[in-house]
Amino acid sequence: MLGAFANAFKTPDLRRKILFVLFIVVIFRIGSVVPAPGVNVQSLQTCIKSAENGANANLYNLINLFSGGALLQLAIFALGIMPYITASIILQLLTVVIPRLESLKKEGQAGQAKITQYTRFLTVGLAILQSTAFVALARTPGRLFTGCLEPLLYKDDWFHVSIMVLTMTAGTGVIMWLGELITDRGVGNGMSILIFTQIVATFPTSLWSIRKQKGLATFFVVIAVGLVIMAAVIFIEQAQRRIPVQYAKRMVGRKMFGGTSTYIPLKVNQAGVIPVIFASSLMYLPVLISQFQADKGWAIWIQGHLVKGDHPIYMAVYVALILFFTYFYVSITFNPKEVADNMKKYGGFIPGIRAGRPTEEYLSYVLNRITLPGAIYLAVLSLIPLIALVLAGANQNFPFGGTSILIMVGVGLDTVKQIESQLQQRNYEGFLR
């Protein structure tokens, strides 16, 4: 592997691509630590330290995770890549509902370019809404950091607040541009690499927190367990059920086509990290609503049972949501009827299964069977940070579990495969042998 890595840097064009990606990543990280105009940095650091493990510590965990900690730092890249992720998910779901978007998806590259443009517009709109809401919270420090009484902004009049909102929205636009630059001129998917960068940026802080609170022995145990979890995630992420497909020979003019054998790969984790993001976002909604009616009985119950990640009710609801969203997302992203119709159209069939409706029913049966272990796998993996919160005293950003480990492994494998394919084009052996 080290030799293949050296070969990647020996190849001039591949070396330029890798160095270009590293250059963009450096710019990205600089923007994640530069505070937005009007932020009282000294008061902000004081509030972060005092409320590190407070009641609201996990309230903005997901957005803070995807921003690499920039959200609670009120940086110019505070929103991170989260508005783009949300916009992409919304457009993907609307494609199933809105016929116009579905027809664009079937148009190929031209249609996909229009969907990408819609995603950009929606991203900017979501960035304006999220930055406005977050700056409004920053005007009342107690809502953002439990027990914080120091002002986070030097001035909170409408002009200075508008400047902060515009800065954070512009930061989101710059992040989109940087991600597209990586995709066009670098290696791998730009947005995925930026997410990977922000998640990895939280590792040192999370691990050092465990080292200070639990000692050196627990620190090394966590590292060992983390490596085992990472190996297990790689194994399951690569696992797939291959359904054999045979294509009959057919004559088109004077040429004969078909007669080949292939397979349909159904991954165990067909839904990826999306169900975890959906479930995490939905778990925050009642908590956010309860903050506006904090003295009501139902709000007190929510604050006591759905805020702390180590509560059994929180874990049970979280797991149930992940299981539901896994089946929901798989059902809208993989259409057995469409796959069966396409196979029948081009003369393909599954050995032992008749074409048409029997093929559709067989694919649905296999998909339902394989989605269950995938959903359980996602639920167990997502509970790891919550269990670590109890056993190791870690915070909600415990690195070896949940969305962080899924994204890191997925992006890492995809990037390595892309580098490997470029090396193989130049007669070098790749990373994965």
Domain boundaries, the chain: 1-202+415-433, 207-398
Domain 1-202+415-433 in CATH 1.10.3370.10? The answer is yes
Cα–Cα nearest to 239, from 418, 384, 373: 373
- Report whether 362 contacts 350 (CB < 8 A): yes
Q: How far apart are CA 74 and CA 51, in angstroms?
A: 15
CA distance 160 to 380: 45
Q: Which of 197, 164, 163 is nearest to 178 (CA)?
A: 197
- DSSP 8-state class, residue 36: P
pLDDT at 257: 61
Chain centroid, CA 35 distance in Å? 24
pTM of this prediction exceeds 0.85? no
From CA 370, how far away is CA 171, in angstroms rounded?
Answer: 41
Long-range contacts of 295-303 (CB under 8 A, 24+ apart): 303/55
**C-alpha span between 203 and 174 (Å, rounded):** 24
CA-closest candidate to residue 352, choices 243, 242, 240: 243
Q: Are 268 and 239 in contact (CB under 8 A)?
A: yes
- How many Å apart are CA 78 and CA 86, to the nearest integer? 15
CATH of domain 207-398: 1.10.3370.10
Per-residue confidence in pLDDT tens, the chain, 433 aa:
556 667 777 777 888 888 899 999 999 988 888 888 888 778 777 776 665 544 444 455 555 665 556 666 778 888 888 888 888 888 887 887 888 888 888 787 888 888 889 999 999 999 998 888 888 877 776 666 666 667 778 887 888 888 989 999 999 999 999 998 998 888 888 888 888 888 888 777 777 777 777 778 877 887 888 888 888 888 888 888 888 888 776 666 666 665 677 888 888 888 887 788 778 777 777 766 776 666 677 777 776 666 656 677 888 888 888 899 898 888 888 888 888 888 888 778 888 888 888 888 999 999 989 999 989 988 888 887 777 655 655 554 455 666 778 878 888 888 888 887 777 776 655 555 5
Q: Are 393 and 210 in contact (CB under 8 A)?
A: yes
Does this chain's domain 1-202+415-433 share its CATH topology with 207-398?
Answer: yes
